[in-house]
Amino acid sequence: MKIYKFHNIYKPTIWGGDRLPLFKGDAERPSGIGESWEISGVKGSESIVEDGREAGTPLSELIARHGARLVGEKVFERFGTEFPLLIKFIHASKDLSVQVHPADELARERHGMRGKTEMWYVLDTDPGASLISGLRRQLTKDSFDRVVAEGRIMDYVARHEVKPGDCFYLPAGRIHSIGAGTLLVEIQETSDITYRIYDFGRLDASGKPRELHTALAKDAIDYTVEADYRTRYEATPNQPVLLKRCEHFNVSLLDMTMPQNLDLRSADSFVVVIVCDGEVTLTVDADETRRCRCGETLLVAAESQAMQISPATSSARVLLCVVD
C-alpha cells in the first residue's frame, strides 16, 4: 500500500462540543469532543490503519515493517519507528486554557521526550472568534510569578480575531490558546506535553480547580514580544503555497479547481494530505487511487514517485505536510 487512512481518535475535553464529529461526517456524532487525532504516534493514543491489506496495524508497527519506504530515509534515520508528527482537527466550543509547551531540550531533560512546536490553520469560525498567540507587552521571568498570582496574565497575551484561512506558527515556548468558536487543523511534533498557565477558574470532574503548571511554564516561555504573530501568505489557486517551513515540518496549502500533479521523487518524506474543504481523488504512481472527503486525512508513503490530487467537487482545499 502507498496510501493509508487511519481510525481517527476522538478526545473528549472540558471545552469540547458537537461540531467536530459533524465536520467529519460522523453519523454517531458523540458530544463533548474537542479533538480528533488523525495521525498519531503518541504512546497510548497510536493510530491504527483503518482498511486495506494492513488494516488493524498500529502506526509504529507499520513503520517497523516498511521503514524508509514509508517515511523516507532521513526521517527513518532520525526518528526510527516513532512517527514525527501529530495531526489533529480541533474545535473549541469554549476557550482553551492559556498554555505553553517546552522546546525539545527542556522536554527531554524533564520528561524524556520531544517538545512541542506546532502550527494552526483555521478552517471555520463563529463571528468574533479569536485566539491567543504570543505576548503583546513585555513580561519577564522575574515578573511572571507575580503576574500569574495576581490573575493578570490575560493583560499580557496577544489576542487575534480570526477567520478561515488564517495561519499561526507556534514555536515551543510561545504562550497560546484557541478561543471559543474556532475550528482548525493543528500540525505539531509528536508530543503531548502541555503546561497550563491560566484556565478561567474552571473545575475538573471532581469539582476541584484544574491543575496549573506555572512553575514548569516559567522556564519554558519565550518572553520575546513580536510585532506580528500571524503567518502571512498569498493564496494562489491551483498551485501549492508554502505556509511554513521549519526543522519539524513543511506545510503547504493547495486550493484547487482542477487536477494537480505533484512530483515526489526528491521529497524523501511521507506526505500527509489533510482535506480541509470539498472532496478529492488521490492517485499515487498511477496505480493506487482513493477518494477522500472533507475532514479526512491520508498518509502517502515516501517511496511514491508521483501524486495526482483531483477535486471531486467544484473546488477543494488540502494541506500537504512533509518532513525534511
Which residues are identified as catalytic? 196
Say how far residue 24 (Cα) sits from the centre of its chain: 16
CA atoms within 13 Å, Cβ hemisphere of 166: 21
Say how far residue 39 (Cα) sits from the centre of its chain: 10
Provide the 3-class DSSP secondary structure of residue 70. helix
Cα separations in angstroms, 172 against 33, 107, 126, 223, 293: 25, 10, 27, 12, 32
Q: Which residues contact 212 (CB under 8 A, 6 or more apart)?
A: 148, 196, 197, 198, 199
Query: Going by DSSP bridges, is the β-strand pair 130-135/118-125 parallel, antiparallel, or unpaired?
Result: unpaired
Cα separations in angstroms, 20 against 11, 53, 171, 182: 10, 29, 25, 11
Q: How far apart are CA 303 and CA 65, in angstroms?
A: 14
